[in-house]
C-alpha cells in the first residue's frame, strides 16, 4: 500500500455547540477531524491525534466512514478534549463556555511508520514544540502546511518561529496574521511572516473569504454567499483540509504553481461552505463529487470578472 | 451643451481627519465631493449640495479642477457642514469627534434646469424626504442610485422605504444592509431589500471588498490588497462614484447587463483604492487614465480564477 497522501496532526474533540439555529451536545469535532473529513474527498488522509477512552466506536465511525486512516489515533487514559461554545445572533462572534483539555495535556504525537513518508503534512493548531516533534518524524514531505492561534503567538512565540522556519504554507486567520507580524497592514504583515519561513501565507477572513501571498501576485477571493448558515464551527479547518487535499490530488510530481494554488483556495472555500450549512461535521459526511463540482462552479460564477 | 451624464446630490464638507499616519484640518470632503471626483474620470458630473460662505474659491477649485459642474452648489449664509474624526491604529474603526451641520440644516436641494435631464442620478446619504424631492425634480433618469445610513434607517424608516421604491441601485454598507432588512444573513437581507424597490443591491464591505445582488447570480469581489493605506475617509463614496461614473460611460443606450455591472464594481474598487492611499481627496485629484487602467489590471489579477 502506498503511504497516505496527506497526514494531519491536531485535535480530535467532543464539541458542544449553541447557535441561534440550534444546538448539539458532545458531537465529534476538533480541527483535525474537520481537516481530515474535508481533505478525504480529494486524497488519502491519515490523522494523528490523542483521544480518551470515552471516544468509542460510534465516534471512530465518523472518521472511518470517510476512509480516514486512524491508526495514528492514540487512545489515552482519561477524557477526550472537550470544547463548548455559543455563537452570537449573527454568527460573527462566539463565546467559549468551557474548555477541558483532558488527554490533550499529555499529547505527544507519534507518527505511525507507514505515515512517515506522507507527501503532504499539515501541522494543526497545537503546541509549536509538538509541531516540530512531528516535523522531525516525517521523511522529506513535499509540502508542510501549518496552522496556529493567538494562544501560541502570545505564549510561545520563539518556539513558533522555529516551527515556521520549517513550514511551506501557513494558514491562519486575519487577526492572527496581524498579531504574529505585529503589523496592522495585511500586505506588510504577509511580508514579515513570509520572511520567517512560509513561502506561502494564506489568510482566512471568515465570511469575507481568503487572501493568499506567495511568490506570484497576491490573490484574494470572497466566500460563497450562502442563504443558510447554521454553525461556523470548523469552517477554517475544513478550508485548510479542502485546500491541502486538493493540492495533494492535483499537483502530481510537479510544483505548486500560482494557478493550482488559486484553485486549491477556491476548493478550500467550497468545503468550508458545506461545513457551515450544517451543525458540526454533519455537512462533510455525505457529499458527492457532483455536489462539490457544482459548488465549485458556483464559486467561479460568484467571482468571475472579465477585462474592461 | 448636452446635459451632464451624472448628477449627484449630497454633502460637501470641511473634514478634519486624524489617522495613525498623519492629520489634515478643514480639508474639502463630504460624500458628494468624493463621489464627484471619482466619477469625473469617466463621465461629466454635476453636483448639487449646500455650502456656506466660508467655502471659498480655493475650495471650489478642488471640484473645478476635475471639471465638475458646480452650478448646483448653493452658497447659503452660515458655515459649511463640518466633520472631524479619528481612526484607530489599524484604521478599522473610527470615532467621530465632532459634527456641525451648519448650512446642511437648511439644505433644500434645487436641481438646476440643465441637470434635470441627467441620465444617471445618485442620491447621496441625505434625509430620505430630500432624496424624494430630488427624484421629483428630474425627468426620467435611466438609473437612480442611492446611499443611506443607520441614522435614517433608525430615524426615518418609512420615508426611506418610500424613497427606495423609486431607486434602481442601492449602495450601502454591510451592517446597514443587515439593519435595514432586520436580517443578519446577507443573502436573505438582500432579498428583503430588493423587494423594497432597488433591482440591484451593492453591499460595501470596506477592506473586504463588495458584494452585489441583482437579477443574475450574486457577485462578490475582494478589495485590492494595498501595502499603504493612510486614510479610509471617503472610500465608500469614491467606490460609488467610480461605479456610477463607469456605468454612465459604458452602457450607451443599452441595458446594464451582469458583465457591465461586475466591471463597474471593479472600477468602483479601483477608485476607492486610490482614495485610501492618500489623505482626504488628495488621491483623486491627479490620476491619469493609465494609472486607472493599470490598477484595474491589478484588480483582475488579484481575483483571477480559472476552472478546475
**CB of B25 within 8 Å of any CB in chain A?**
no
CA dist., res. B178 & res. B201, Å (int): 12
pLDDT at A215 over 70: no
pLDDT at site A254: 65
Q: What is the pTM of this model?
A: 0.95
ipTM of the complex: 0.92
pLDDT at site A243: 97
pLDDT at B77 over 70: yes
Identify the bridge partners of residue B292 per DSSP, sorted by sequence position.
none
Q: Give per-residue pLDDT as tens, A119-145.
A: 999 999 999 999 999 999 999 899 999
Retrieve residue A160's grid coordinates: 513558533
Q: Give per-residue pLDDT as tens, B239-276.
A: 999 999 999 999 876 678 888 999 999 999 999 999 99
Q: Give per-residue pLDDT as tens, A165-205.
A: 999 999 999 999 999 999 999 999 999 999 999 999 999 99
pLDDT at B307 over 80: no
Contacts of A176 (CB under 8 A, 6+ apart): A148, A149, A150, A153
| Mean pLDDT (whole number) for A48-53 | 97
Give the distance from residue A124's alpha carbon to the nearest chain B alpha carbon, in angstroms.
Answer: 26
Element (H, E) at B48: strand B45-52
CA dist., res. A56 & res. A79, Å (int): 11
Contacts of A113 (CB under 8 A, 6+ apart): none
pLDDT at site B92: 82
| Mean pLDDT (whole number) for B205-228 | 92
> Which band of pLDDT confidence, cut at 50, 70 and 90, is reported for residue B2?
low
**Which residue in the block uniquely carries the three cell numbers 492611499?**
B277
**Which residue in the block uniquely carries the three cell numbers 476552472?**
B307
Q: Give per-residue pLDDT as tens, B82-94.
A: 999 999 988 888 9
Give the distance from residue B108's alpha carbon to the nearest chain A alpha carbon, in angstroms.
Answer: 38
pLDDT at B1 over 50: no
**CB of A225 within 8 Å of any CB in chain B?**
yes
3-state secondary structure of B245: helix
**CB of B218 within 8 Å of any CB in chain A?**
yes
Give the distance from residue B306's alpha carbon to the nearest chain A alpha carbon, in angstroms.
Answer: 7
| Mean pLDDT (whole number) for B179-188 | 96
pLDDT at site A1: 47
pLDDT at site A217: 77
Q: What secondary structure letter does DSSP report for B90?
A: T
**CB of A178 within 8 Å of any CB in chain B?**
yes
| Mean pLDDT (whole number) for A200-224 | 92
Instruction: Name the more confident of B289 and A257.
Output: B289
Task: Tell me if B211 and A222 make a contact (CB, 8 A cut-off).
Answer: yes
Task: Tell me if B184 and A91 make a contact (CB, 8 A cut-off).
Answer: yes
Give the distance from residue B228's alpha carbon to the nearest chain A alpha carbon, in angstroms.
Answer: 8
**CB of A289 within 8 Å of any CB in chain B?**
no
Q: Which of A11, A230, A227 is nearest to A103 (CA)?
A: A11
pLDDT at site B171: 98
Phi-psi sector, B105: left (phi>0), alpha (psi -120 to 50), beta:
alpha
pLDDT at site A257: 86
Amino acid at each position: 500500500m502506498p503511504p497516505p497522501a496527506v497526514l494531519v496532526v491536531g485535535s480530535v474533540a467532543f464539541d458542544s455547540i449553541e447557535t441561534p439555529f440550534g444546538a448539539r451536545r458532545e458531537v465529534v469535532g476538533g480541527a483535525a477531524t474537520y481537516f481530515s473529513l474535508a481533505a478525504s474527498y480529494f486524497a488519502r488522509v491519515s490523522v494523528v491525534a490523542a483521544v480518551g477512552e470515552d471516544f468509542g466506536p460510534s465516534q471512530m465511525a465518523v472518521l472511518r466512514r470517510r476512509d480516514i486512516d486512524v491508526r495514528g489515533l492514540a487512545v489515552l487514559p482519561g477524557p477526550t478534549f472537550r470544547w463548548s461554545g455559543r455563537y452570537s445572533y449573527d454568527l460573527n462572534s462566539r463565546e467559549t463556555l468551557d474548555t477541558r483539555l483532558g488527554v490533550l495535556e499529555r499529547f505527544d504525537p507519534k507518527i505511525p511508520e507507514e505515515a512517515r513518508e506522507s507527501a503532504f503534512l499539515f501541522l494543526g493548531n497545537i503546541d509549536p514544540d509538538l509541531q516540530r516533534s512531528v516535523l522531525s518524524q516525517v521523511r522529506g514531505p513535499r509540502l508542510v502546511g501549518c496552522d496556529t492561534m493567538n494562544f501560541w503567538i502570545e505564549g510561545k512565540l520563539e518556539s513558533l518561529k522555529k516551527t515556521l522556519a520549517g513550514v511551506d504554507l501557513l494558514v491562519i486567520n486575519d487577526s492572527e496574521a496581524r498579531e504574529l507580524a505585529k503589523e496592522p497592514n495585511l500586505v506588510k504583515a504577509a511580508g514579515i511572516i513570509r520572511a520567517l519561513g512560509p513561502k506561502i501565507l494564506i489568510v482566512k477572513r471568515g465570511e469575507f473569504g481568503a487572501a493568499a501571498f506567495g511568490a506570484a501576485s497576491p490573490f484574494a477571493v470572497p466566500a460563497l454567499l450562502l442563504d443558510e448558515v447554521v454553525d461556523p464551527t470548523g469552517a477554517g479547518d475544513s478550508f485548510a483540509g479542502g485546500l491541502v487535499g486538493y493540492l495533494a490530488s492535483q499537483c502530481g510530481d510537479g510544483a505548486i504553481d500560482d494557478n493550482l494554488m488559486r484553485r486549491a483556495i477556491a476548493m478550500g472555500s467550497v468545503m468550508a461552505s458545506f461545513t457551515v450549512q450544517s451543525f458540526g461535521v454533519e455537512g462533510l459526511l455525505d457529499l458527492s463529487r457532483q455536489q462539490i463540482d457544482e459548488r465549485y462552479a458556483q464559486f467561479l460564477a460568484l467571482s468571475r470578472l472579465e477585462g474592461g
